[in-house]
Amino acid sequence: MGMLRSATGAKWPPAAERASTGVDCDYSFGNSVEYMRRANEETFLVLQIEDQEAVDSVEEIAAVEGVDLLFVGPAGGTSWP
């Protein structure tokens, strides 16, 4: 597992660094600046804790700016040591 260090790919500029080509389907909604502002307000970033390494690092993961929720799936932990 690669440790999450940043959630910047989940939000549009200027809030973060999500890339755009300018021809994404997102731009078909009209004003791109307004779209990105509103999308940033409405984006909810959820991460699933999937293995023992993530459990051991859960506080560090939760502290990453932009992460809104962590969860363990319904079968989570069944195969962890």
Task: Please tell me the predicted confidence (pLDDT) of residue 35.
Answer: 80
pLDDT digits 0-9 by tens, 10-69: 777 776 667 666 655 555 566 777 888 888 888 888 998 888 888 888 999 999 888 999
What's the whole-model pTM score?
0.66
Query: Strand runs (DSSP E) across 12-71, as ranges?
Result: 46-48, 69-71
- Cβ neighbours, 10 Å, residue 30: 8
Q: How far is CA 62 from CA 2, 11, 50, 51, in A?
A: 15, 17, 14, 15
- Cα 69 from Cα 79, distance rounded (Å): 22
CB 7 within 8 A of CB 67: yes
Tell me which of 80 and 41 has the higher pLDDT.
41
Task: Please tell me the predicted confidence (pLDDT) of residue 8.
Answer: 73
pLDDT digits 0-9 by tens, 1-16: 455 666 777 777 776 6
